[in-house]
Amino acid sequence: SREVEVRARVTGVLQQQLFREGEVVKAGAPLYRIDPAPFQIALEQARAALAQETAILEQARREAARTGPLAEQRAISQKEADDARSAVARIEASRLAAQARIREAELNLSYTRVNAPISGLAGRTERSVGSLVNPGTDSLLVKLAVTDPIWVRFAFSEPEWQRLRGQATGAPVTLVMPDGKAYPVEGTLNFAGTSVDARTGTVQMRAAFANPQLAVLPGQFVRARVKVGEQDAVVVPQAAVMTNDQGRFVWVVGPENAATPRPVKAGAWSGAGWAIQEGLGAGDRVIVDNLMKLRPGAPVAPQAAAAQGAPGAPGAGAAPPGDAKAAPAGKSDAKAAGAGS
């Protein structure tokens, strides 16, 4: 989410807290009041200094006006007349500095009224009433988070980002909440990074979602899925796709129930499956269990694969030696979606 840190900009005692933690505040709403007395005094002193400089300037101008004719009549030296004019210019500069000090004092006095810079959800206050605050490293007073719309940040790998380049912004995005349920409102991609993080090999992305009920909280972990298109593809369980020095492959049940490695070109993940772009066709039987025991030409006894997570499914139990569970490969509208957090 977008988050703004509200900080003290002057040193003083915190006199009032004018909001409730955890509530939404409007832009411009008063949040804190810092003791204004020292700053009111400083403003009055600056105004007095300006009045003093104004009086001195008026006297210098009168003096310069008198010395001008006298210098023309050679009643005084030219240097005296020049000194009088220089004094006017010097005092005018001092008066400008006094005016600037008044503006500075007014600005510091305004900083004693700490208002919300944006509309957002107020977090926990960091300083209690009566505390001495200052604009240094411990100046943080409270954080405000914009929750509607809420921004979700995630990252894509380089290959995923390449597929998304044609839709840099505006692509539809869906969220999967921590409980596995889909967020009911679809968002849109509003930012795509312009560089690849050399440490992770990913590109930063961001999407905006309407969040009027505060169903998504700032800092919450969710999964984002960006839809970049649809294609017809054979989808097999992710565990069935293996890799060797020649690339990715799957084991299929060949003639006479013999295990046969089949090179494939894998695409994007689709849920718990992996879209295979080349190498498999509808009706091919893909071996999904006891894969580490297989050798080319090894006889297998195909069995129908159970649903993932059910008893006898991959990861739930071992099949008898020599047996292999096979899942028929079928066409599916595989949505090329990337997931990030």
Query: What is the torsion angle, in degrees rounded to the nearest 10, for the CA atoms of residue 91, residue 93, residue 96 and residue 97?
Result: -100
The yes-or-no verdict on residue 308 having pLDDT over 60 is no
* Per-residue model confidence (pLDDT) at position 321: 32
More confident residue, 236 or 334: 236
CB 152 within 8 A of CB 206: yes
* Per-residue model confidence (pLDDT) at position 336: 34
Over the stretch 265-304, which tens digit does the pLDDT of each residue have? 887 776 678 788 888 887 788 888 878 878 888 888 888 7
The yes-or-no verdict on residue 323 having pLDDT over 70 is no
> Using alpha carbons only, what angle is made at residue 191 by residues 185 and 196, rounded to the nearest 5 degrees?
130
Q: How confident is the model at residue 50 (pLDDT cuts 50, 70, 90)?
A: very high
* Per-residue model confidence (pLDDT) at position 334: 35
Of residues 143, 132, 108, the one with CA closest to residue 5: 143
Note the CATH number of domain 152-221.
Answer: 2.40.30.170
Over the stretch 7-43, which tens digit does the pLDDT of each residue have? 999 999 999 999 999 888 999 999 999 999 999 999 9
The DSSP letter of residue 83 is H
The DSSP letter of residue 197 is B
Q: How confident is the prediction for the chain on average, in pLDDT?
A: 81
Q: How confident is the model at residue 168 (pLDDT cuts 50, 70, 90)?
A: low
CB 32 within 8 A of CB 114: yes
As a whole number, mean pLDDT of residues 238-254 equals 86
**What is the percent of the chain with per-residue pLDDT over 70, rounded to a whole number?**
85
The fold adopted by the segment(s) 38-110 is Helix Hairpins (1.10.287)
* Per-residue model confidence (pLDDT) at position 329: 52
Of residues 55, 15, 51, the one with CA closest to residue 31: 15
Q: What pTM did the predictor assign?
A: 0.59
The yes-or-no verdict on residue 258 having pLDDT over 80 is yes
The yes-or-no verdict on residue 337 having pLDDT over 70 is no
- Provide the token pair at 119: 């509309």
Over the stretch 189-238, which tens digit does the pLDDT of each residue have? 888 888 888 888 888 888 889 888 888 888 888 888 887 666 677 888 88
* Per-residue model confidence (pLDDT) at position 142: 94
- Provide the token pair at 6: 């509200």
- How would CATH label the architecture of 230-334? Beta Barrel (2.40)
Distances, alpha carbon 139 to alpha carbons 125, 135, 147, in Å: 12, 5, 24
* Per-residue model confidence (pLDDT) at position 191: 83
**What is the percent of the chain with per-residue pLDDT over 90, rounded to a whole number?**
29
**Can you give the three-state secondary structure of 251-265, one letter per residue?**
EEECHHHEEEEEECE
As a whole number, mean pLDDT of residues 308-335 equals 39
> Does 38-110 match 230-334 in CATH topology?
no
The DSSP letter of residue 160 is H
The DSSP code sequence of 306-338 is PPTTSTTSTTT-PPPTTEEEEEE-EEEEEEEEE
- How would CATH label the architecture of 2-33+115-146? Beta Barrel (2.40)
* Per-residue model confidence (pLDDT) at position 90: 92
As a whole number, mean pLDDT of residues 124-134 equals 92
Over the stretch 58-108, which tens digit does the pLDDT of each residue have? 998 888 888 888 877 888 788 888 888 898 899 999 999 999 999 999 999
Q: Where are the domains of the chain?
A: 2-33+115-146, 38-110, 152-221, 230-334
